[in-house]
């Protein structure tokens, strides 16, 4: 490519030199041919023929891969020879074409080669002196005495022009070198950008302020079934998550937003971000990370954990079922032997044990059923009030709630299951005069539910296993409530923790903000 560009530049220089030379020859023919002798006419004809011959030779030499500096030197040196012959043929000392030497030096200075300019300046001076003294010798016309000062002045001007153009050429060369390095760096960055985008498995889209796609990588094009650099507006992509459009259409949004999206049997973690300032017209960036394998692995691990937990609880379950069954059997055996007035107590005991078995079966069904979170906008205050009313329908318990959150994108049924279990445990663990506090707060990153009771607390040996099945033995409980809470939190990617000390127990459920979550 560089060789082709050099040839093009040389051909362009040759064309311009040809036009200038033809113009000079026309001026010479118009003004000098009528007033000069036959010998000088022959010399001018030789100059024209030499110009044609040199032009042909130069056009042929351009085809050879010689260095650019040698090609230029040959072209400008031939110009100096032609000008020297022209000065010789048009009067020598009295020729007005001496200025053409300076024009050649100026033209050479535009090529950003310092040595070329200085060399041509020296050769121009030599050629000029040769033409002057050759004319004087050929025609036996000695130079006048006053010509010496003028000759020195002309030679000094040529050398001065050469020096000035050498400085300009050096500056031009420095700027050209910087420009070439910058262009090469830009090309390298472009190539690196192309390779990087092509090698990324994550889909990437770059949008301008009007949400038009300015850049994309093959992974994103495969996800949306579009061609690279299609120039489409992101609103035209029918499969784009609606939550993405909602985020992009709010100018006040400046942070990153994240959500999950299902498309073509694949699950993607989609992140939307905004550039701090416009860069080359780009305003937004979006990434689409395929998390299908990760989510499948998480589900598999959760199932394996559930199977392991169910294996551990098999022996415990036999004991938990045996106790109420033995109590019921003994009650049935005694009901025919005791007086009628005592049978009421036996019936009450049987009813309580049956209720306990029913709760145990219900909790087991809650624990073993598959969990598939379906997030949607939920009014948190309404969710809290519904959970409190279920635990305390008559408003006799001391349950206080503080909610600093409006709407969250969560699975309402799953959160109700967590809140109902934690509130029920907190109420049963607190003394009659104790207060259960429920507080919901959020920041720019996450939200947090806190349930606080003032009961006897959790014994230290049980704090590490509090979320395991049958780890707790609270009176009236089945031992599966907190295990179910832990399982629901894991399925929704929430964090649940318990902290108990000095007669205070705090259960916290924390989750990151999910601005949108779309499936299908």
With a cut of 60, say whether residue 520 has pLDDT above it.
no
Which residue's entry shows tokens 């490519």?
1
Confidence of residue 474 (pLDDT cuts 50, 70, 90): low
What integer is the mean pLDDT of 231-240? 79
pLDDT at 236 over 60: yes
pLDDT digits (tens, 9 = 90+) for 70-85: 777 777 788 788 788 7
The residue extents of the domains of the chain are 2-190, 200-290, 291-369, 371-520
Q: What is the pTM of this model?
A: 0.47
The total number of residues shown for the chain amounts to 520
From the CA atom positions of the chain, what is the Rg in Å? 47
Candidates 2.60.40, 2.40.50, 1.10.287, 1.20.1530; CATH matching 291-369: 1.10.287
CATH fit for domain 200-290, picks 3.40.50.720, 3.40.50.300, 3.90.1520.10, 3.30.450.20: 3.30.450.20
Q: Do domains 200-290 and 371-520 have the same CATH topology?
A: no
- pLDDT reported for residue 508: 93
DSSP 142: P
Stronger pLDDT, 155 or 354, i.e. the higher one: 155
SS3 sequence, 149-189? HHHHHHHHHHHHHHHHHHHHHHHHHHHHHHHHHHHHHHHHH
pLDDT band at 5 (very low <50, low <70, confident <90, very high): very low
Q: What percent of the chain has pLDDT over 90?
A: 3
Structure tokens at 398: 């001391």
Question: In the prediction, which pLDDT does 450 show?
Answer: 92
Instruction: Indicate the fold that domain 371-520 takes in CATH.
Output: Heat Shock Protein 90 (3.30.565)
> How far is residue 443's CA from residue 415's CA, in Å, rounded to a whole number?
19
* Range with top average pLDDT, 113-127, 280-294, 344-358: 113-127
Q: What is the pLDDT of residues 194-233, one digit of tens each?
A: 788 888 888 888 888 888 888 888 888 888 888 776 678 8
Strand partners, 439: 402, 450
Report the side by side order of strands in the sheet with 446-453. Answer: 399-403, 436-442, 446-453, 504-512, 495-501
Residues 6+ apart with CB under 8 A from 273: 255, 256, 257, 284, 285, 286
Rounded to whole angstroms, how far apart are CA atoms 195 and 158?
53
Going along 237-374, which residue ranges are E strands? Answer: 257-263, 266-279, 282-290
């Amino acid at each position: 490519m560089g060789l082709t560009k050099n040839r093009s530049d040389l051909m362009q220089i040759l064309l311009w030199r040809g036009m200038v030379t033809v113009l000079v020859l026309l001026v010479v023919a118009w003004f000098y041919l009528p007033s000069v002798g036959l010998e000088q006419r022959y010399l001018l004809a030789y100059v024209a023929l030499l110009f044609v011959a040199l032009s042909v030779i130069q056009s042929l030499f351009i085809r050879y891969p010689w260095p650019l500096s040698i090609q230029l030197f040959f072209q400008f040196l031939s110009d100096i020879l032609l000008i020297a012959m022209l000065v010789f043929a048009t009067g020598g000392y009295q020729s007005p074409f001496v200025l053409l030497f300076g024009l050649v030096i100026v033209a050479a200075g535009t090529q950003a080669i310092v040595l070329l300019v200085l060399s041509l300046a020296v050769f121009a001076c030599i050629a000029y002196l040769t033409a002057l003294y050759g004319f004087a010798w050929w025609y036996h016309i000695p130079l006048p005495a006053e010509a010496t000062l003028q000759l020195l002045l002309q030679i000094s001007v040529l050398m001065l022009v050469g020096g000035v153009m050498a400085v300009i050429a050096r500056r031009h060369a420095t700027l050209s070198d910087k420009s070439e390095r910058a262009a090469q760096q830009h090309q390298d960055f472009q190539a690196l950008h192309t390779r990087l985008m092509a090698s990324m498995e994550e889909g990437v889209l770059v949008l301008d302020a009007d949400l038009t796609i300015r850049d994309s990588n093959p992974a994103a094009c495969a996800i949306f079934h579009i061609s690279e650099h299609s120039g489409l507006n992101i609103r035209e992509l029918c499969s784009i998550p609606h939550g993405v459009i909602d985020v992009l259409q709010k100018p006040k949004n400046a942070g990153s937003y994240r959500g999950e999206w299902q498309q073509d049997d694949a699950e993607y973690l989609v992140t939307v971000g905004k550039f701090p300032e416009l860069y080359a017209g780009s305003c937004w960036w979006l990434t689409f990370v395929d998390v299908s394998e990760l989510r499948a692995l998480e589900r598999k691990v959760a199932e394996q954990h559930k199977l392991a937990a169910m294996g551990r609880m098999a022996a415990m379950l036999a004991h938990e079922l045996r106790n109420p069954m033995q109590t019921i059997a003994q009650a049935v055996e005694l009901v025919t032997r005791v007086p009628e007035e005592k049978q009421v107590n036996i019936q009450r005991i049987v009813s309580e044990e049956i209720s306990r078995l029913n709760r145990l079966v219900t909790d087991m069904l809650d624990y073993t059923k598959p969990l598939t979170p379906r997030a949607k906008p939920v009014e948190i205050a309404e969710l809290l009030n519904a959970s409190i009313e279920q635990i305390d329908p008559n408003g006799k318990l001391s349950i206080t709630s503080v909610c600093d959150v409006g709407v969250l994108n969560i699975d309402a049924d799953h959160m109700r299951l967590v809140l109902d279990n934690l509130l029920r445990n907190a109420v049963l663990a607190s003394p009659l005069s104790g207060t259960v506090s429920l507080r919901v707060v959020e920041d720019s990153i996450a939200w947090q539910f806190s349930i606080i009771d003032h009961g006897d607390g959790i014994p230290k040996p049980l704090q590490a296993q509090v979320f395991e099945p049958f780890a707790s033995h609270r009176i009236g409980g089945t031992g599966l409530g907190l295990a179910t809470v832990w399982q629901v939190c894991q399925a929704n990617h929430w964090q649940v923790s318990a902290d108990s000390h000095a007669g205070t127990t705090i259960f916290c459920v924390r989750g990151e903000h999910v601005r949108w979550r779309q499936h299908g």
